[in-house]
Every structure is written in C-alpha cells, then in structure tokens.
Amino acid sequence: MPEQTHIKKRIAVFESWSKTYNQSIVDLMLKKFGVDYRDAILGVARKAAPQPGEEVLDIATGTGTVALALAEEANAECRIMGIDITQSMLDAARKNVDSTGMGDIFEFRQASAEELPFADNSYDVVTSSLALHHTNVPAVLRECHRVLRPGGRVVIADVTANRTWRCPVGAFYRLMDQLYMLGTESNDLFCQFHTQEEWMGLMRNAGFAGVEQKFFAPKHSWSRGIIIVSGAKPSA
Ligand SMILES: C[S@@+](CC[C@H](N)C(=O)[O-])C[C@H]1O[C@@H](n2cnc3c(N)ncnc32)[C@H](O)[C@@H]1O
C-alpha cells in the first residue's frame, strides 16, 4: 500500500479516536499493558524537566496530555509547541489547555514528525509520547536532533516490540500479540515497533549522548512493553 494511503488511513483512525481518546487510552494502557498512563506521562515530563524560559516541542502531542504535564512541571514558565498530523487531536489539545488557564504558553500546529517545520537549533527540549511507532523512527530522531539546541534534551515514551518477536519463531508471538490487541485502536497494522535494545541504538545512531531508559515490562511475556528513553544533543 502506498505511503500516502497509510497516512490517510492513520489520520482517519486518529480523527475518530480523538473524541474518546482521553479515557480510552487510560483503559487501554492499564488493561493491555498493565501500565498506568499517568505514570508514563509524568515519567516523560519529570525526565524532561523543562526550566523557566525554555522552549519545548512535544511531537505527536495528541490531546495535549504530555504538553500539560510539561507545563505543570515548569510552573507554566516555559513555552510549549505541540505538533500532530491529526487536526481534531490538536483541537482537543487546545480545548484541554485552555480549560486550565495556562493556554497562553501553548501553540499547536498540524505537522508531520518526520518533517518538522522548525529551524535548526530552535528548542531546548523535545518530547514525544506513545506515537513514534506510527513513524519512521530514524527520520524522526534526526529531526529531533536537528531542531534541538546543543545541550538540549530529548525524552520519548513509546510502545516497544517484544524481544521474543525477533527470535526464530517470533512471528508466532507477534501473531499472539495481534490477536490480544484485536479491537483496540492500537492494533494498527502500519506500526513499526522497536525493542528496548533497538531504541538505545537508534538514539545513539541519531547522535544523542547520555542515552538512558526506563522500561515498563509487558503484562505478558510475548506482548508489548513501554519504554521511556532519553538523551541529549552534545554541546559541541
Ligand atoms: C496514541 S496518540 C499519543 C498522543 C499523546 N502523545 C499521548 O501520549 O497521549 C498518537 C498520536 O500520534 C499522532 N501521529 C501519528 N503519526 C504522526 C506523524 N507522522 N506526525 C505527527 N503526529 C503523528 C496521531 O495523530 C496521534 O495524535
């Protein structure tokens, strides 16, 4: 299937999911992954730890949950740009941040993670949560590195591939996982998941230093886990 058709289908899934996203993501994460969605979001915001005056970019911001957690972490003293390919997600994000009274510090823009519409060295912090498996990760990490200022930090949460999927009978475990996830929005066939180890390599290959990870192990030994991976763009 051509890439453009994938993108259109993916946007259509997220357009319809945007109406129920905030509640259904909490249930999905808990029931299928055994992870509290709030733990993943706070994990990203606390690791990113935006400081007063910093410029923050949240990629694939969805309904703005991470963006809001980042604002709270910085006592609303930073500026936050959220981008997403799905306009209805951004509309929900705008509504959510406005309802907190902190709306002025946010800007939202429709854009692709793979082609960020920003100049080189323009952000202090880049974050993304539960979205990069929908993208070409090496391309997105290259863009994260490009838009970060030297010394800037990147923090990413994502759903991982399971190690068992890479073993000789991995296709069987993958099939079990596909059946397990049937009926959830997360069973999108166009996803590309990476294992914990692959994530570490992808971050280093993109030029990030001090790469670290926190892992939420999968509920079942053959299913998906959640990783929070972080690093920094070297200063010189
Ligand atoms: C599961 S939601 C995650 C939203 C939010 N970050 C969170 O943690 O709740 C995935 C989001 O990724 C967005 N997305 C998917 N592919 C994208 C791309 N190539 N560029 C930007 N956003 C993308 C979708 O529109 C959707 O809002």
User: What is the maximum alpha-carbon separation in the chain?
Assistant: 53
pLDDT in tens, 125-160: 999 999 999 999 999 999 999 999 999 999 999 999
Count the neighbouring beta carbons within 10 Å of the beta carbon of residue 9. Answer: 14
Rounded CA-CA distance 62/84 in Å is 6
CA 204 – ligand 1 centroid, Å:
23
pLDDT for the residue 1: 53
What integer is the mean pLDDT of 180-186? Answer: 83
With 90 as the cut, is the pLDDT of residue 189 above it?
A: no
pLDDT at site 10: 83
Ligand 1: distance of its center to the CA of 173 in Å? Answer: 26
The domain in which residue 80 lies consists of 3-232
User: Which of 130, 136, 192, 227 has most ligand 1 atoms within 8 Å of CB, for mutation?
Assistant: 130
In CATH, what number is assigned to the domain containing residue 133?
3.40.50.150
Coil, helix or strand for 199? helix
Residue 3 reports pLDDT greater than 60: yes
Q: Using the mean position of ligand 1's atoms as its centre, give its distance from the Cα of residue 104 in Å.
A: 22
In the chain, pLDDT over 90 holds for what percent of residues? 86
Number of structural domains (the chain) is 1
Q: What residues flank ligand 1, with Cβ below 6 Å?
A: 10, 14, 25, 60-62, 65-66, 84-86, 89, 112-114, 129-131, 134-135
The pLDDT value recorded for residue 147 is 98
The whole-chain average pLDDT of the chain stands at 94
